[in-house]
Amino acid sequence: MEREYTIPLRDKVRSVPRYKKTPKAVKTVKEFLARHMKIRDRDLKKIRIDSYLNEELWMRGIKKPVHKIKVKAVKDGDIVRVYSASLPEKIKFKKLREEKLEVKAKADVEKQKTIMEKAKETMKGTKKEEVSEEKSEEEKRDEAEKEKASKLAQQEIDKEIAKEMKHTTKTKSQKQKSAERKGYNITSRGH
């Protein structure tokens, strides 16, 4: 089930102190959707606000949230996911930039996988040669040279992988970010 709503925030936010206005706006969005999307027991935990929608609400700061907002709500089972129907230009640009970074990171990971597969194939090839029967001295020399060359090639491949890993962006999940924040808050209390 997918619906679009224009949610009025002004009435609910007006009666709250200045320093709590935007958090109240976020809560108002959740309450509105719990009522209109018919969520059992009006449980606010079943409503997931998109990060870009949240950023749009917080864009003007904690004291001046927007007065109304147009959203698109999608219901999957019990969970309702909420997205902004129309993003401001700043957030659109940021979203596009993050999508480009994601695509680039995925391409780098695939490229790294192909390099690793090539390295494994070369290693398999050297193992097969070792199993073969005794050879003449010339063949042994050739084999020794090939092994050295493959070791050098493997080292070069490892260096390339290390360089690529150094330049790839590491995206953290929401859980990892929140765990870092919680750990920081606990230690910063001075207990």
The pLDDT tens digits of the residues spanning 51-107 come to 999 999 999 999 999 999 999 999 998 899 999 998 888 888 888 999 999 998 888
| Comparison of pLDDT for 174 and 92, the residue scoring more | 92
CB 120 within 8 A of CB 150: no
User: Residue 168 — very low, low, confident or very high, per pLDDT cuts 50/70/90?
Assistant: confident
Sequence-separated (6 or more) residues with CB below 8 Å from residue 32: 5, 7
Count CA atoms closer than 13 A to 132's CA, side-chain side.
Answer: 10
Token pair belonging to 177: 């970010």
Q: What is the pLDDT of residue 130?
A: 54
Across the range 132-158, mean pLDDT stands at 80
- The answer to whether 15 and 56 are in contact (CB under 8 A) is no
CA torsion sign, 52 to 55 to 60 to 62?
positive
Query: How far is residue 79's CA from residue 39's CA, in Å, rounded to a whole number?
Result: 8
Strand pairing of 47-49 and 68-76?
unpaired
C-alpha triplet 93, 98, 103: angle, nearest 5°: 125
Query: Can you list the alpha helix ranges (DSSP code H) found in the chain?
Result: 10-14, 21-36, 51-58, 89-131, 137-167, 174-188
Beta bridge partners of 2: 74
State the average pLDDT for the chain.
84
Q: Is the dihedral of CA 120, 124, 126, 127 positive or negative?
A: positive
